[in-house]
Chains A and B, each alone.
Chain A
Amino acid sequence: DAGVIQSPRHEVTEMGQEVTLRCKPISGHNSLFWYRQTMMRGLELLIYFNNNVPIDDSGMPEDRFSAKMPNASFSTLKIQPSEPRDSAVYFCASKAGTDNEKLFFGSGTQLSVL
C-alpha cells in the first residue's frame, strides 16, 4: 500500500487566496483526520471523519476553514480566504476501526501564506 497520500507537498500563496489541500487515505481505513502543526501550538486536531461523515470539527479555527470527504478515498481541507497565520504544516492521517487502532500519517503539506 502507498500509505496516506497528501498533495501538494508545498504550497505558497498570497493572503486572501483560496487554498485546497488534498488527502487520499489508506484503502479500507474508515477514519480520517486533519491535523495542523506549528512550533507554537504543536500538533492540533482540526477535524475527523468516520465513514466519510464529519464527527468533530471543534478544532477548526474559523469559518474560513472547511473540510469535506465526498467518498472513502478522498478528502479536502479548504481555507478561504487564507491569512499569514494559517502558515503551518497540515497533516492528514487515517486509521482502520474505531478503537485502539494506530494512526497512519501522510507526509504533510507545508503551507506558506505571504
Chain B
Amino acid sequence: SQQGEEDPQALSIQEGENATMNCSYKTSINNLQWYRQNSGRGLVHLILIRSNEREKHSGRLRVTLDTSKKSSSLLITASRAADTASYFCAPSSGGSYIPTFGRGTSLIVHP
C-alpha cells in the first residue's frame, strides 16, 4: 500500500473563496478517495475517483486525477466556515484496495 501526500499542509481563506488542495502518490492506483475530518471526529468520505476517470463532481466539490503525474486535486468552490476541517487523500493500489492516509491539509475558512 502507499500513502498520499497532501499539499499544502495548511490553508487559510475567506468565506466565498475557492480552496484547492493537492495530493501526490508514488505508484499506480486503483482509485483515490478524499476524506474530511472535523476537529475531534472521525474521517468522513467525500468522493472517490477511479483510475480511469479524470474528473468528478459532488456538489461544491470537484476532484481531478492525473495518473501521468500521479496527482489529484480537490477543489471546494464558494467555501463556507463550515468547510473548516482537515482533508485527506487516500490512494489505494494493488489487490487489497486498502486506502492509506497522510497528514492531511488543514483548511480554515474565515467568516
Contact = CB atoms under 8 A, between A and B. Distances in A.
A103 interface: yes
B97 A103 contact: no
A43 B88 contact: yes
Contacts of B44: 105
Interface string B83-111: 00000101000001111111110000000
Q: Is the interface of A mostly helix, strand, loop or mixed?
A: strand
Q: Is the interface of B mostly helix, strand, loop or mixed?
A: loop
B11 interface: no
A48 B88 CA distance: 19
A106 interface: yes
Interface of B: 1, 30-31, 33, 35, 40-45, 48, 50, 88, 90, 96-104
27 contacts: A4-B42, A33-B98, A35-B101, A42-B101, A42-B102, A42-B103, A43-B101, A55-B96, A56-B98, A91-B42, A93-B42, A93-B43, A98-B97, A99-B30, A100-B48, A100-B97, A102-B45, A103-B35, A103-B43, A103-B45, A103-B90, A103-B99, A104-B45, A105-B43, A107-B41, A107-B42, A108-B42
A93 B99 CA distance: 11
Contact of B42 (A55, A99, A102, A106): A106
A8 to B, nearest CB: 14
Contacts of A42: 101-104
Interface in A19-78: 33, 35, 42-43, 45, 48, 55-56
What is the interface residue range for chain A against chain B?
20 to 34
A1 interface: no
Nearest to A38: B103
Contacts of B31: 100
Contacts of B40: 107
A104 B103 CA distance: 18
Contacts of B103: 42-43
A91 B96 CA distance: 20
Contacts of A101: 97
A4 B44 CA distance: 12
B38 to A, nearest CB: 10
